[in-house]
Amino acid sequence: MASIEQVKAELAQAAEQCNATTNQIRAAIEGTEQVLSRLRAVAAGTGHPAISEAINRAEQSKQRLIEAATVLAGSTQAARQYISILGWPVSIGEIKAALNEANYLLEQGKTKIAGVGTALEDVSALLLSTLHDSQRTEAAQARKAIADAVREVKLSLRAIATAQDSGNGYRKVLG
C-alpha cells in the first residue's frame, strides 16, 4: 500500500505534467495566432473563400486550445488542492477518487486538444491548397506556423497520455 508521501509525490508529478502540457498548449495558441496573422496578411486585398474559411477554422482552433488549457489548469489545481489536503488523515478511497477525477479532467483536455488537432489539420490542408505556389514571405511563415501548431498539439496529447499512464499506474498500485 502506498504512503501519503508517495501519493503526494505522484500528484505533484501529475500536476507538473499538466503544467508542461498547458505550456505546450499555450505555445500552440501562439502558433495559431501567428497563423491567423499571416493568413490575414495574405488575405489582404482578396476575398477568396478558401482564405476566409482557413481564417475561420484557425480562429475556432485557437478557441478550442484556450478551452483545453483551461480544463488542464483545472486538473492541475485539483491535484495541488488535494496535495494540500493530504496533511490530514485520508483514506485510500479518497486518493482513488482524486486520481479518478484527475484522469477525467485529463480525458476532457485530451478530447478538446484532439478536436483542435483535427481542426488544425483541416486549416493546414486549406492553407496549403490556397498558398501552395505563393512565394510571399507571409505565406512561408503561415505554412511554418501551422506546422508548429500541429506539432504542439501532438506533443500536448503525448504529455496528457503520459500523465494518464502515471496516474493509472499509481491507481493500480493502490489496488
**CA 101 → CA 38, 65, 107, 141, distances in Å?**
40, 21, 10, 40
Q: How far apart are CA 81 and CA 48, in angstroms?
A: 50
pLDDT exceeds cutoff 60 at 42: yes
- ∠ CA 14-17-22 to the nearest 5 degrees? 125
Contact criterion met (CB below 8 Å) for 22 and 159: no
91-119 pLDDT, tens digit per residue, is: 677 777 878 888 888 888 888 888 888 88
Q: pTM (2 decimals)?
A: 0.58
Residues contacting 104, CB < 8 A, separation 6+: none
Mean pLDDT for 15-32 is 85
pLDDT exceeds cutoff 60 at 1: no
**pLDDT of 121:** 86
Q: How far apart are CA 18 and CA 157, in angstroms?
A: 11
